[in-house]
Amino acid sequence: MSLDSSRGMTQRTIKIGIVGGTGYTGVELLRLLAQHPAAELKVITSRKEAGMPVAEMFPNLRGKVGLRFTEPSASALTACDVVFFATPNGVAMGEARALYDAGVRLIDIAADFRIKDVRLWEKWYGMKHACPGLVAEAVYGLPEANREKIKDARLVANPGCYPTVVQLGFLPLVEAGSVDLDHLIADAKSGVSGAGRKAEVHTLLAEASDNFKAYGVPGHRHHPEIAQGLTQAAGKPVGVVFVPHLTPMIRGIHATLYARLTKTVDLQALYQKRYANEAFVDVMPAGSHPDTRSVRGANTCRIAVHQPQGGDIVVVLSVIDNLVKGAAGQAVQNMNIMFGLPEASGLEQIALLP
């Protein structure tokens, strides 16, 4: 047990393993857990970098994380209370079953367990699912929608970055049944870190800088995840068009969401009531325009809702840091819920300005 003096309460120490700690999500997860009052980092795996001190790869962690990357070891990981998979899509599904059966709680930050329809997942991710039996056991980890289920979950499917910002923006309207559910539009823009820490031409400085472009317009793998979540919230199928864009910045997602109102509603009051008790959703005053830098480094989604010219179209502006609320921060938020900790533990960083 360890004492969190800032809250005057005793917390258990959570032994943590991270599979795949060398990507942007991995280092963000390490940054947050290194400051978490109840977290004890036990093992961080990387086949390629095994033996290298973590702080050698990520100097920002010098003096905070003293571990070395290690080869994945079943015995080391099964000795943990929770294991995070900060791996590319397709890795967790091959390793989750053994850990799950050993009683370890799992949080997959990739997409292996997000979509309940396995065949649909296989279509969008282009591979055979290696562990379909665990898909039904997985709880979709959007706390603002599934908090009660997350509490008892043994396997949490951490949402994608785009699905997080889009769902949080649409949820109050969809749950209230106040918009045309057949014609939702999500126009979203992300920084290049969303593509991961790998060498690809489209994320080179000379390609991404001073440039702005849409991609995945005919179809994007986050679409079925967004549709699944909104359908669950609505209680019936929804029709949503999702168009992602790449912007010349490192962090952040800005989603501009459109829907047609089907009944008169006080939009500001609707959003304020829905998120009144949510620590990580900030409904801004009427007329606001949230920007991505206001959430950089923080586990916060900032939302503003508009009704241009008093017409029947509602416009929702929703912003997150794709690496925090869109990935590692939300994963830590889920861990807190799973282990009965204060939900904001280790996640109270203020966004970085300028």
- Which part of the chain is CATH 3.40.50.720? 2-137
Lowest average pLDDT, out of 205-209, 229-233, 331-335, goes to: 205-209
Q: In this predicted model, what pLDDT tens digit does every residue of 108-165 receive, in sequence order?
A: 999 999 999 999 999 999 999 999 999 999 999 999 999 999 999 999 999 999 999 9
Report pLDDT for 10: 46
CB-side neighbour CA atoms (13 Å) of 185? 10
Catalytic residue among 80, 131, 161, 301: 161
Looking at the chain, the whole-number percentage of residues with pLDDT higher than 90 is 90
- Burial class of residue 310, CB neighbours in 10 A (0-12, 13-18, 19+): exposed
CA distance 213 to 309: 29
- Which part of the chain is CATH 3.30.360.10? 162-322
Report pLDDT for 167: 98
Is residue 161 part of the annotated active site? The answer reads: yes
In the block, residue with structure tokens 């056991």: 137
Q: Which candidate, 87, 98, 110, 109, places its Cα nearest to that of 23?
A: 87
- Burial class of residue 180, CB neighbours in 10 A (0-12, 13-18, 19+): middle
Q: Which candidate, 105, 162, 168, places its Cα nearest to that of 137?
A: 105
CATH class, domain 162-322, is: alpha beta
In the block, residue with structure tokens 């370890």: 104
More confident residue, 31 or 205: 31
What 8-state DSSP symbol labels residue 341?
Answer: -
Question: pLDDT-based confidence at 11, cuts 50/70/90?
Answer: low
Looking at the domain 2-137, which fold is it?
Rossmann fold (3.40.50)
In the block, residue with structure tokens 């501009």: 256
Q: What is the mean pLDDT of residues 26-55?
A: 96
Q: In this predicted model, what pLDDT tens digit does every residue of 253-277 receive, in sequence order?
A: 999 999 999 999 999 999 999 999 9
Indicate whether 192 pLDDT > 50.
yes
Q: In this predicted model, what pLDDT tens digit does every residue of 272-325 receive, in sequence order?
A: 999 999 999 999 999 999 999 999 999 999 999 999 999 999 999 999 999 999
- Global confidence as pTM: 0.94
Indicate whether 84 pLDDT > 80.
yes
H or E segment and range at residue 78: helix 74-78
Indicate whether 4 pLDDT > 80.
no
More confident residue, 201 or 154: 154
Q: Which candidate, 288, 290, 300, places its Cα nearest to that of 329?
A: 300
